[in-house]
Structure 1
Amino acid sequence: MYYNADLHVHLGRTKNGKPVKITASPSLTVENIFEKCIEKGIDIVGIADCAVPEILEELDDLAKNDVLKQLDGGGLIYKEKIVLQLVCEIEVGGELNGSPHLLCFLKDIESMRAFSNILSKYISNINLSTQKCRLNSVEILKIAKDFDGFVVPAHVFTPYKSYYGSTTDRLSYIFEEYYDEVFAVELGLSSDTYLADMLSELSYKVFLSNSDAHSLQKIGREFNVFDLSCPNFESIKMMLKSRSGIIRNYGLNPALGKYHRTFCLDCCKISNTNPPIHKCAYCNSENVVFGVLDRIYEIKDQKMSHPTFRPEYIYQIPLEFIPGIGSITMKKLFNEVGSEIYILHEAPFEQLKECIGEKLAKNIIDARYGNIKVKAGGGGIYGKII
């Protein structure tokens, strides 16, 4: 059976209003995330802040009230509708260079609680998300593995807080003999399959396209389609390990990402010439934020070459990026047409036209089939449809 999965969504607050992810919206609570996933068309969600003790208490309470039910093989299901995978994003502070982010996937509440207790010895404040951990990547991987968990390098190319962006030229240098224990990497919004497959060491890694949502609306802006007999933890782990059952990746055109091209911090212009660009082409400044495209071209060691198991990567333009589609229009679409994923990829033109008129319906169809032009983003500024 096919499932839409977004395995990297953040929490803004606990149900009691305590902050979890400082940079995330306060509306990102556990139950709000589940309800938004229904609206978006996401079947499996990974909440990336599950090592926070108060969040674990919330999940326990929901389980005791049968709102959440434990699945055989790991994971929990919300109201028989949305499957939760327990994830902890960590800022790795023990590497020689950089502070990359690492996603740690655990099977159940008990395993995540034990994992959290160990991490709390190496993290100053376990009650906040993505805190710096005084361990290196291999040490964290070993701890996760002790609980039958696994790890996935997060937004692996972004200029800040990632492996290729700020830590190393090769993941294998970091994980060494444990490199085969890294089954997948998360691409991030500013890259895609075509770019990542310019690195030969990734030729047998699964690519995950997740939203890294810091607000409810961002959930599902990137997602994966999995073919699973059961949407539980063990099935997902086996799928990643065997590199089978990954049906499609859906993600932004990477030019829409916030860090796609090199950005000048002095004149605030985004490069548009052939990569890699290390200094501003407009004012010659070297005070720049290096772009993802530029970084990949700097470290690539082959022309783009897809392995046979690599699925199709489909560019998705979320509704919020499409001209003329505001919050009121989105609400009308969700109420009358269906989930955002259905609207973006399946809803017939006539159904959209009847709901929101010909002009806006055409904008959605144009976005679906790539009949648009994109101005690249960089330096923390999203790209734009023009």
Structure 2
Amino acid sequence: MALTPELHSFYCDLHVHIGRTSAGNAVKISGSRDLTFANIAREAAERKGIELIGIIDSHSPGVMQDIRDLLMSGEMTEADGGGVAYRGTTILLGTEIEIREPGRKECHVLAFMPNLAVMEDFSAWMSRHMRNINLSSQRLYAPSRVLQEEICGRGGLLIPAHIFTPHKGLYGCSAERMAELFDLEQIAAVELGLSADSEMAGYISELDRYSFLTNSDAHSLGKIGREYNVLELAAPSFNEFRLALARREGRRVSANFGLNPRLGKYHRSYCAGCGSIIDEAAATSERCPYCGSTKLVQGVFDRILHIADREQPLVPDYRPPYHYQVPLEFIPGLGKAKMNALLAAFGTEMNILHRAGEAELAAVTGPELAAQIVLARSGGLALTSGGGGTYGKVDRTRS
């Protein structure tokens, strides 16, 4: 009789972009130049304390060559159960793909593959339906359900990305129901995005069955881990990740850590006419309450209320807690020098956020900043709302 493996908690961020290959070729045009596969692995393992990280530009031929080189050199190895292992951190090989069905706006999805060989095969298929396979988040000229079949047929996982954002989120701009684009039985999970939380998603009943992910969508090394998850796994690997999303054999997402939606840059509607963020409870969806302009960009919260099929949100019993947490970089007064001192004392950002006590923090930063860090990790800092592509901020006058 096989023994049930012991499960452990792992910190996971499953949406990180590649800026450049090691040869300097662009992958994510808007990504930082130092966002290479190797640098992301080092940042996750050595500074952030992220133990399972999804690099979602692994389809690019230049990136795949970097992975092959790292495996050949022995710096990295193929992980048991799928993925690439580096110093206690496992990298999941993923890709972000843009789709656009006729008569709809475009949206993004994530696809994760078990290993490099499968990703190479999937990339070869995509290259026949994509204008530039080398770049990130490119449009796939194939129907969404064909894409779904190609992903799932290879043993991959399909996860709609930042589903509520007005900029290429499935619900944000492409459809009112996911069933309009995909077979719901072959969706592994959904990614909420920086401007939504579990309760907000609870207004839409078709999401009840899915595990939610909160990821950074990092375009620079510093942004890795600004949102993340805790997963209960036997080990960090693709196979264990699959089990956790399906909530099988005890594996599960046990916590989501994310920005308070008010900090998200698409949380509330925004007027392109006067530049105002419309944060009024009774704001009209047709005209700006400040200037009367009709040039409105609908925010995540307002969009959810518009497409909701419930009057009140439902949070299923299995849904893990969603912890509002302000990233360390948002905390006023926490500059580079003090951050480096904290890392020298506690090792990783996850240790600073989860394991260091207030007195220990104060010994490094002083009591005032230590108190701010404690408030940040418990969601206690006062915030101003984001909107129109601008992040919200910590309100120093009320914190």
TM-score range, shorter chain: over 0.9
Residue 342 (structure 1) shift = 2.0
Question: 1:205 aligned to 2:210?
Answer: yes
Question: 1:229 aligned to 2:229?
Answer: no
Question: 1:135 aligned to 2:146?
Answer: no
Q: Which residue of 1 aligns with 2:5?
A: none
Q: For the residues of structure 2 that align with 1:148 and 1:126, how far apart are their CA atoms?
A: 21
Deviates more, 1:366-375 or 1:166-175: 366-375
Letter in 2 for 1:105: F
- 1:22-37, aligned counterparts within 5 Å? 22-37=29-44
Q: 1:145 aligns with which of 142, 148, 152?
A: 152
SS where residue 323 of structure 2 aligns? strand
Q: 2:339 aligns with which of 330, 334, 343?
A: 330
CA contact (8 A) 2:227 2:257 kept: yes
Q: 1:350 aligns with which of 340, 356, 359?
A: 359
Deviations 1:173-226 (A, max 9, x none): 211xx2111021000000000100111110111100010000111100111111
Seq. identity, %: 41
Q: Which residue of 1 aligns with 2:299?
A: 291
Q: Which residue of 1 aligns with 2:244?
A: 239
- 1:139-178, aligned counterparts within 5 Å? 139-175=146-182, 178=183
Provide structure 1 residue ranges, at least 5 long, that are not aligned to the other structure.
Answer: none
Q: 1:282 aligns with which of 275, 278, 290?
A: 290
Q: Which residue of 1 aligns with 2:118?
A: 111
Q: Which residue of 1 aligns with 2:368?
A: 359
Q: How many residues align?
A: 383
Deviations 1:79-120 (A, max 9, x none): 3x2101000100113453011001011011110000000000
Normalization by structure 2: what TM-score?
Answer: 0.93
SS where residue 104 of structure 1 aligns? strand
CA contact (8 A) 2:246 2:252 kept: no
Residue 73 (structure 1) shift = 2.1
Q: For the residues of structure 1 that align with 2:283 and 2:71, how far apart are their CA atoms?
A: 50
Normalization by structure 1: what TM-score?
Answer: 0.96
SS where residue 133 of structure 1 aligns? coil
Q: 2:391 aligns with which of 357, 382, 385?
A: 382
Q: For the residues of structure 1 that align with 2:19 and 2:368, how far apart are their CA atoms?
A: 36
Q: For the residues of structure 2 that align with 1:135 and 1:314, how far apart are their CA atoms?
A: 38
- Aligned Cα RMSD in Å? 1.3
SS where residue 145 of structure 2 aligns? helix
Deviates more, 1:180-189 or 1:368-377: 368-377
Deviations 1:149-186 (A, max 9, x none): 120000000001111011100001211xx211102100
SS where residue 305 of structure 2 aligns? helix
Mark the CA change 1:75 to 1:149 in structure 2 (over 3 Å): closer, same or farther. same
Q: For the residues of structure 1 that align with 2:242 and 2:283, how far apart are their CA atoms?
A: 35
Q: Which residue of 2 aligns with 1:43?
A: 51
Q: Which runs of 4+ in 1 moved over 6 A?
A: none
CA contact (8 A) 1:258 1:377 kept: yes
Q: For the residues of structure 1 that align with 2:282 and 2:155, how far apart are their CA atoms?
A: 41
Deviates more, 1:295-304 or 1:70-79: 70-79
Q: For the residues of structure 2 that align with 1:276 and 1:132, how far apart are their CA atoms?
A: 35
Letter in 2 for 1:208: L
SS where residue 15 of structure 2 aligns? strand
Residue 298 (structure 1) shift = 0.7
Q: 1:310 aligns with which of 297, 303, 319?
A: 319
Residue 45 (structure 1) shift = 0.5
Q: For the residues of structure 1 that align with 2:282 and 2:365, how far apart are their CA atoms?
A: 40
Q: Which residue of 2 aligns with 1:193?
A: 198
Q: For the residues of structure 2 that align with 1:275 and 1:68, how far apart are their CA atoms?
A: 54
Question: 1:18 aligned to 2:25?
Answer: yes
Q: Which residue of 1 aligns with 2:3?
A: none
Residue 367 (structure 1) shift = 1.7
Deviations 1:34-75 (A, max 9, x none): 111121110000001001001111101111111111123211
